[in-house]
Amino acid sequence: MKRRVVVTGVGLVTPLGVGVQETWESLCAGKSGIGDITRFDVSNFQTRIAAEVKDFNAEDFLPKKEAKRTERFIAYAIAAARMAIDDAKLVINGSNADRVGVITGCGLGGLSILEDTCNKINNQGPRRVSPFFIPMMIGNMAPGMISIQFGAKGPNASLATACAAGAHAVGDSYKIILNGEADAMITGGVESVVNPTCIAGFNAMKALSTRNDEPQKASRPFDRDRDGFVVGEGCGILIIEALDHALERGAQIYAEITGYGMSGDGYHMTAPPPDGSGAARCMTAALEDSGLAFDSIDYINAHGTSTPLNDLSETRAIKSVFKEHAHNLAISATKSMTGHLLGGAGGIETVFTALAISDGRLPPTINHDNSDDECDLDYVPNVMREARIEHAMTNSFGFGGTNASLILSRYHS
């Protein structure tokens, strides 16, 4: 029998709050974390809104000197990891450090420090570049610094699979535990790229919403009037463990990870295949890995970006995989409230899925005001729903056609 893997701790830094409880309550209440961009002058940008993390102080989680030389995305990762470790009551010491690993996903890494440093070179010359520039920029410093801060010396890696990176990180960590290479993993996704380069780049692709006058209504997955996604930032971290390891130390259990699937679209740099075939193969692979029948799934936390192509493609994929059961599924698109965290999305959304199972509440898809004739499933519109969930899926699909699906289940001994 393969090892069983469970979620024993969670940590969140999101546009809805710094902390799990604040974020989860706001999410279930249907609050939006999207507003005007405050980090830079947006007067000449097509898109002037984003989902920024508010009231975050790195010095709450790091010594003052260290906080100053830690890039924002790394600080988010350390903060969420500390919350998750504390939540799991996981003690890492000399006796188990090499059996605890760290894998996180991050799509763009330290894009902000790269942008700032390029400007500094152009304006002040290369001698003004900080010696911390490279360590602050590279994506693998998120798991690297988590390892250093908490003494985890097991498998350590960073994934950069665009918007699927956080989910891939959780899935790969799950496989590492299944293979007996670690007993516990600190895993999830992180991103912080609310900066001119990111916004200008996605604007050039016509990917972002330009509903600047109504920021809290801008992200509207599966709604007829969706016009693009909203950039978000933050981090979601989970502690996942082999079941025997968790039981031995008396850990709480939020949910069990029971399936993981991956696929490639092989279709286009940025667009999904219209029929959703790549996503469908990914969801099918997760179901096969779990051994569950398609009609066992009760709930999906959708990728649901609020772009015309993605939402239609994902809906078609769900219908393809779940057949007549598709209309029985409850589906949340939590990006309607958090914005799209890019490489961090899979981290926070896996946390949300675990919380939905353990707490019995399904977050709504807000701004679902006008039905789309082809997006006609149950997207839990506008109001949270109480429900007992036995098996849930969370989807993350990235540029380049890279896909990840995870299945989480209610834990039964």
Give the C-alpha separation, 21 to 151, whole Å.
26
**Active-site residue numbers?**
163, 303, 340
> Which helix H or strand E contains 199, and what residues bound it?
helix 196-204
> Which helix H or strand E contains 237, and what residues bound it?
strand 234-242
Write out residues in the chain with pLDDT < 50, as ranges. none
Classify residue 273 by its DSSP letter.
P
Give the C-alpha separation, 228 to 206, whole Å.
8
Q: Are 209 and 49 in contact (CB under 8 A)?
A: yes
Give the C-alpha separation, 245 to 4, whole Å.
10
- The tokens for 302 are 């959708």
Q: Are 307 and 269 in contact (CB under 8 A)?
A: no
Give the C-alpha separation, 368 to 311, whole Å.
13
Give the C-alpha separation, 221 to 361, whole Å.
19
- Characterize 68-88 residue by residue with b for buried, 16 or more Cβ atoms within 10 angstroms of its Cβ, and e for exposed: eebbbbbbbbbbbbbbbbebb
Single-letter amino acid code for the residue at 348: I
Give the C-alpha separation, 73 to 270, whole Å.
24
Q: Are 222 and 304 in contact (CB under 8 A)?
A: yes
Closest CA to 241 of 1, 406, 5: 5
Query: Each residue of 106-157: pLDDT tens digit?
Result: 999 999 999 999 999 999 999 999 999 999 999 999 999 999 999 999 999 9
The CA radius of gyration of the chain, in Å to the nearest whole number, is 20
- Characterize 186-195 residue by residue with b for buried, 16 or more Cβ atoms within 10 angstroms of its Cβ, and e for exposed: bbbbbbbbbb
- All domains of the chain in start order, with CATH: 5-248 (3.40.47.10), 260-409 (3.40.47.10)
Q: What is the pLDDT of residue 20?
A: 98
Give the C-alpha separation, 348 to 270, whole Å.
22
Q: What is the pLDDT of residue 2?
A: 81
